[in-house]
């Protein structure tokens, strides 16, 4: 059975693929992320996960860097376990 | 649409940041460029011209943008230009190695109904990654011409020009792309569309686009409708009903649903257009990032790069500087003999001593810009922003503040303009307020001259300490302002890391040339006028009493002579003038100027150091002040910057001199 537990993006380690479940941010930030290609439901790869919680993602083929303030607010689900 | 002139074609260049827009612009227009008042990063409106097959092409470079929503200044600039100026052709430059994300902007341009041509740039990068892109298929599916390019190698430019003229002539017709935003959304769009139809806004915009923007809750467009009484309000009521209706069906806001539909459409396209190799190799960019973004190495690498840049500039330019000065010195000596007396003095002191001294710094300034061009064009600067984000966050700034601060090493004016990319208004204001503390190229001549005269053995160290002081104060004051004056959360860090690119020699040279030209233009205009005015006032004896009145203020800092005070007053016009003014007063060229200062003013090395710090910190030059006013749109904050820098400069200069005296005595 698939587990449906979600975790913040900041806690995902480098190299993992995850699905975005929700972006718990205000309208402005949500829209900015949308413009950069990050939308709920999307499958992304975490390229780098820094100690600080900031991350570099592969989003639709581009490299997107997010500060820790945001990566805490993006809830993701790992495909299995 | 009636064209104003028959043979004139207006072409707007647009695209995401870092797709090679500047490179293409340079290719298209060569040196026929015109950049507003100041060459900015790409925030300035750049225009160029080009003739092709009997047409006169006017090319306008729009700021890089990811989207055409209204939430960043750059995007609004782009959008308004497209609407108001209605260019004949819009060229959207798309990074072929990053097609999916780039096409998001293209779709929005198609929604606006512009005459679009897609320039598929970076084909070489895409190929090296093993991507196969079917440009013909992409063109058919989007209904617009697609021209593959390698802008950095000048490939595909003629085909692009050909296509542009064909579109302008109407030989290629571009239909508005139709695709579905989902059944329910389409219905609401249609409803809104019919409510809008009769309004005054539909002259400029298509009603379909207006409907879409309303559902996206675009502030600008909503405001336009609010102002449009009473019709506009009726439309807004329909909009609110639609949004309420959509909220019942969708979990996400309508804006997100629309964006999702665009991305969905693009993913569909990708299947038909792009073939990627089954197992993608880790790209070179990602491999470089493993080191550059490393938890431990990131910040040391950034510091090392800045230090290396600095070393390089000095080691290369100091010999050149001395060589040029020797020449000016001889010139000045022979000019001093010219009769009548005043003419000899004008040429020798005013012209050669003043303006010549400033011009002798051209090599240093160009090298500085050369270094900055490489940092910027290679894609490293965005990494620096990411690496520094946490540190910058601690002092209450934003990672992106690193970009203006680094560019400030060149000139504060484009640096302050680059702060536009910082979304959070408080982060942006504080960045603007501290950027003038970063030592710019114009202040460098002062250090070089004084350090050379007073600290022969430790020249490099002393000059470096000024840079360090500037950076230190910028950080300290950013933190203070954020703590006490302009409080509140700082913005989030969201930034694309573009793939690294080997900067082309051509684009680096153009960047360097444009900035050096700006420096020379300043030397020819404002600096020339200031120095000539100074010569006149000095020759007629007007300046001395003014200088004498102010000088005592600076006595505690060790440079209480009227000459120093006079030079400082004129230095506000442009900091280079400080050196020019000394040259004029002591009637010597740069070669002997340092010595003249030390013998005639009787400065100790400590006084010279205090004076350097004063020049570093006190009131930004007029051009910078004007820029601060324009960018903050506030006389209050502009006045504040003038005030705090002046007080701080005096305090630091006095501290250096007084504390230093304790140790030396
Ligand atoms: N390999 C390759 N590199 C390119 C190509 N076009 C541009 N570049 C390089 O990509 C880098 C970025 O190009 P720019 O022209 O500065 O990009 P831009 O879109 O103006 O970027 P911003 O000024 O940040 O908006 C530079 O180092 C260029 O030399 C291309 O077709 N192939």
pLDDT tens digits, one per residue of A13-58: 998 999 999 888 888 888 889 999 999 889 999 999 888 889 999 9
Region A75-81: mean pLDDT is: 79
Region A66-80: mean pLDDT is: 88
DSSP A60: T
Query: Does A28 sit within 8 Å of B495, measured CB to CB?
Result: no
CA pair distance B284, B56, nearest whole angstrom: 41
Nearest to A75 by CA among A17, A31, A18, A23: A23
Residue-averaged pLDDT of chain B: 85
Q: Taking CB atoms and an 8 Å cutoff, what residues of chain A touch B496?
A: 36, 62-65
Largest Cα separation within chain A, whole Å, is: 37
Structure tokens given for B471: 């950076």
Residue B11, phi-psi category: left (phi > 0), alpha (psi -120 to 50), beta (remainder):
beta
Confidence class for position B589, pLDDT limits 50, 70, 90 = low
The CA distances from residue B147 to B85, B134, B144, in Å, are 24, 11, 10
Q: Is B211 in the pocket of ligand 1 (CB under 6 A)?
A: no
Among the ranges A47-56, B312-321, B519-528, which has the highest mean pLDDT value? A47-56
Nearest to B486 by CA among B436, B433, B438, B435: B433
Q: Is B583 in the pocket of ligand 1 (CB under 6 A)?
A: no
- B95, closest residue in chain A (CA to CA): A62
Domains of chain B: 8-169 (3.40.50.300), 183-275 (1.10.287.1770), 298-487+505-663 (no CATH)
By CB neighbour count within 10 A (0-12 exposed, 13-18 middle, 19+ buried), where does B98 fall?
buried
| 3-state SS class at B197 | coil
- Contact B15/B64 with Cβ under 8 angstroms? yes
Angle at B134 (CA atoms; ends B133, B139), nearest 5 degrees: 120
- CB neighbour list of residue B553: distance below 8 Å, 6 or more residues apart: B560, B565, B650
Confidence class for position B39, pLDDT limits 50, 70, 90 = very low
Residue by residue, DSSP assigns B353-380 as IIIIHHHTTHHHHHHHHHHHHHHHHHTH
Residue B36 predicted with pLDDT over 60: no
Residue A1 predicted with pLDDT over 60: no
Q: Is B150 in the pocket of ligand 1 (CB under 6 A)?
A: yes
Residue B37 predicted with pLDDT over 60: no
Q: What is the pLDDT of residue B664?
A: 79
Q: What is the pLDDT of residue B251?
A: 84
Q: Is B345 in the pocket of ligand 1 (CB under 6 A)?
A: no
Query: Does B295 sit within 8 Å of A39, measured CB to CB?
Result: no
Confidence class for position B536, pLDDT limits 50, 70, 90 = confident
- Contact B114/B90 with Cβ under 8 angstroms? yes
Residue with the two structure tokens 């490393």:
B294
Q: What is the pLDDT of residue B590?
A: 60
Lowest average pLDDT, out of B173-187, B258-272, B460-474, B612-626, goes to B173-187
- Contact B60/B81 with Cβ under 8 angstroms? yes
Region B339-346: mean pLDDT is: 74
Domain ranges of chain A: 7-77
Ligand 1, residue B42: give the atom nearest the CA.
23
| 3-state SS class at B337 | coil
Region B263-269: mean pLDDT is: 93
Query: Does A65 sit within 8 Å of B386, measured CB to CB?
Result: yes
Residue B287 predicted with pLDDT over 80: yes
CA pair distance B499, B507, nearest whole angstrom: 17
Region B109-125: mean pLDDT is: 93
CA pair distance B40, B418, nearest whole angstrom: 7
- Contact A64/A56 with Cβ under 8 angstroms? yes
CA pair distance B556, B651, nearest whole angstrom: 10
Q: What is the pLDDT of residue B262?
A: 94
With the most atoms of ligand 1 within 8 angstroms of its CB, the residue from B15, B22, B123 to mutate is B22
DSSP B481: I
Q: Which CATH class is domain A7-77?
A: mainly beta
Which of B494, B497, B500 would best serve as a mutation to test chain A binding (most A beta carbons within 10 A)? B494
CA atoms within 13 A on the CB side of B158: 2
Region B285-294: mean pLDDT is: 91
Report chain B residues touching chain A, CB-CB < 8 A. Answer: 66-67, 69, 71, 97-101, 104, 217, 252-253, 255-256, 259-260, 263, 285-286, 289-290, 293, 295, 382, 386, 389-390, 393, 399, 423, 492-499
Q: What is the pLDDT of residue A52?
A: 82
Residue B20, phi-psi category: left (phi > 0), alpha (psi -120 to 50), beta (remainder):
left
Percent of chain B at pLDDT > 70 equals 92
Residue B188 predicted with pLDDT over 50: yes
Q: What is the pLDDT of residue B339?
A: 66
Percent of chain B at pLDDT > 90 equals 36
Q: What is the pLDDT of residue B38?
A: 31
Q: Is B19 in the pocket of ligand 1 (CB under 6 A)?
A: yes
Confidence class for position B313, pLDDT limits 50, 70, 90 = confident
Upstream peptide bond of B379 is cis (omega within 30 degrees of 0):
no
- Contact B232/B275 with Cβ under 8 angstroms? no
């Amino acid at each position: 059975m698939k587990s449906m537990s979600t975790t913040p993006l900041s806690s995902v380690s480098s190299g993992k693929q995850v699905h975005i479940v929700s972006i718990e941010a205000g309208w402005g930030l949500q829209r900015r992320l949308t413009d950069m290609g990050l939308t709920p439901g999307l499958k992304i790869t975490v390229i780098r996960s820094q100690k600080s919680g900031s991350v570099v993602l592969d989003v639709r083929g581009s490299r997107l860097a997010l500060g820790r303030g945001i990566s805490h607010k993006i809830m993701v689900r790992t495909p299995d376990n | 649409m009636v064209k104003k002139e028959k043979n004139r074609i207006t072409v707007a260049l647009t695209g995401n940041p870092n797709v090679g827009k500047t490179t293409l612009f340079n290719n298209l227009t060569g040196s026929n460029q015109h950049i507003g008042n100041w060459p900015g990063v790409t925030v300035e409106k750049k225009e160029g011209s080009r003739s092709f097959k009997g047409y006169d092409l006017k090319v306008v470079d729009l700021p890089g943008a990811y989207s055409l929503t209204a939430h960043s200044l750059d995007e609004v600039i782009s959008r308004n230009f497209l609407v108001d100026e209605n260019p004949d052709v819009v060229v959207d430059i798309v990074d072929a190695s990053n097609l999916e994300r780039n096409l998001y902007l293209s779709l929005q341009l198609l929604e606006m109904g512009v005459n679009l041509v897609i320039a598929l740039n970076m084909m070489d990068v895409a190929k090296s990654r093993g991507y196969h892109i079917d440009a013909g298929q992409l063109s058919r599916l989007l209904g617009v011409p697609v021209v593959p390019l390698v802008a950095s190698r000048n490939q595909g430019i003629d085909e692009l020009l050909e296509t542009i003229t064909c579109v302008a002539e109407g030989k290629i017709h571009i239909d508005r792309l139709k695709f579905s935003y989902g059944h329910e959304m389409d219905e609401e769009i249609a409803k809104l569309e019919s409510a809008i139809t009769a309004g005054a806004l539909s002259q400029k915009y298509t009603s379909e686009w207006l409907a879409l923007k309303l559902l996206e809750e675009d502030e600008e467009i909503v405001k336009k409708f609010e102002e449009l009484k009473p019709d506009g309000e009726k439309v807004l009521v329909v909009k609110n009903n639609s949004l309420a209706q959509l909220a019942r069906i969708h979990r996400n806001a309508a804006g997100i649903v629309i964006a999702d539909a665009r991305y969905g459409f693009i993913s569909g396209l990708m299947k038909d257009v792009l073939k990627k190799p089954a197992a993608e190799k880790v790209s070179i960019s990602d491999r470089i990032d493993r080191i550059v973004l490393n938890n431990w190495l990131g910040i040391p690498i950034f510091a090392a790069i800045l230090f290396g840049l600095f070393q390089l500039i000095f080691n290369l330019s100091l010999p050149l500087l001395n060589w040029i000065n020797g020449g000016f010195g001889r010139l000045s000596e022979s000019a001093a003999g010219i009769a009548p007396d005043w003419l000899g003095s004008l040429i020798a002191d005013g012209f050669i001593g003043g303006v010549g001294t400033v011009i002798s710094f051209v090599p240093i300034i160009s090298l500085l810009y050369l270094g900055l061009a490489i940092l910027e064009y290679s894609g490293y600067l965005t990494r620096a922003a990411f690496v520094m984000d946490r540190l910058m966050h601690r002092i209450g700034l934003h990672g992106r503040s690193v970009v203006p601060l680094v560019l400030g090493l060149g000139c504060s004016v484009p640096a302050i303009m680059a702060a536009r990319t910082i979304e959070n208004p408080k982060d942006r204001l504080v960045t603007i307020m501290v950027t003038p503390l970063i030592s710019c190229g114009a202040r460098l001549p002062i250090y070089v001259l004084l350090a050379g005269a007073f600290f022969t053995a430790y020249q490099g160290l002393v000059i470096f300490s000024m840079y360090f002081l500037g950076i230190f104060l910028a950080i300290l004051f950013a933190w203070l302002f954020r703590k006490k004056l302009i409080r509140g959360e700082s913005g989030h860090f969201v930034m694309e890391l573009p793939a690294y690119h080997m900067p082309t020699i051509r684009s680096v040279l153009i960047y360097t040339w444009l900035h050096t030209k700006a420096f020379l233009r300043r030397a020819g205009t404002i600096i020339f006028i200031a120095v000539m005015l100074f010569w006149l006032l000095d020759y007629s004896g007007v300046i001395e009493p003014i200088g004498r009145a102010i000088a005592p203020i600076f006595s505690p800092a060790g440079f209480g002579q009227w000459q120093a005070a006079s030079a400082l007053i004129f230095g506000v016009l442009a900091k280079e003038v400080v050196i020019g003014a000394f040259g004029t007063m002591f009637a010597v060229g740069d070669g002997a100027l340092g010595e003249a200062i030390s013998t005639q003013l009787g400065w100790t090395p400590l006084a010279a150091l205090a004076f350097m710090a004063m020049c570093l910190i006190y009131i930004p030059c007029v051009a910078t002040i004007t820029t601060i006013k324009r960018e903050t749109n506030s006389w209050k904050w502009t006045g504040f910057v003038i005030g705090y820098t002046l007080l701080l400069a005096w305090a630091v200069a006095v501290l250096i001199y007084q504390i230093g005296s304790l140790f030396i005595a």
